[in-house]
């Protein structure tokens, strides 16, 4: 999961994935069925 606080979350339109963003610019994509992180992105401001 995230190392820092999660500041936002959003579900995909089909409800199969969740995106979570931390206060330090890390975006993670999650598979709802498995609970596994499927991608991690560093967002630059």
Q: For the chain, how many structural domains are there in total? A: 1
pLDDT exceeds cutoff 70 at 45: no
Q: Is 17 a member of any domain?
A: yes
Q: Is 1 a member of any domain?
A: no
Q: Is 24 a member of any domain?
A: yes
Whole-Å CA distances, 11 to 20, 40, 42, 45 = 9, 16, 19, 22
Q: Is 38 a member of any domain?
A: yes
Q: Is 15 a member of any domain?
A: yes
Q: Which residues contact 1 (CB under 8 A, 6 or more apart)?
A: 28, 37
* Interatomic CA distance for residues 15 and 22, integer angstroms: 21
pLDDT at 43: 83
pLDDT in tens, 1-43: 777 789 999 999 999 999 999 988 999 999 999 999 999 999 8
Q: Is 14 a member of any domain?
A: yes
Distance from the first to the final alpha carbon of the chain: 21
Of residues 9, 13, 10, the one with CA closest to residue 22: 9
Q: Is 13 a member of any domain?
A: yes
Domain that includes residue 38, residue range: 6-42
pLDDT exceeds cutoff 80 at 44: no
Q: Is 32 a member of any domain?
A: yes
């Amino acid at each position: 999961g995230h190392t820092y606080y999660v500041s936002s979350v959003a579900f995909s339109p089909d409800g199969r994935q969740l995106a979570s963003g931390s206060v330090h610019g890390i975006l993670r994509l999650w598979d709802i069925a498995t609970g596994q992180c499927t991608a991690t992105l560093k967002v630059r401001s």
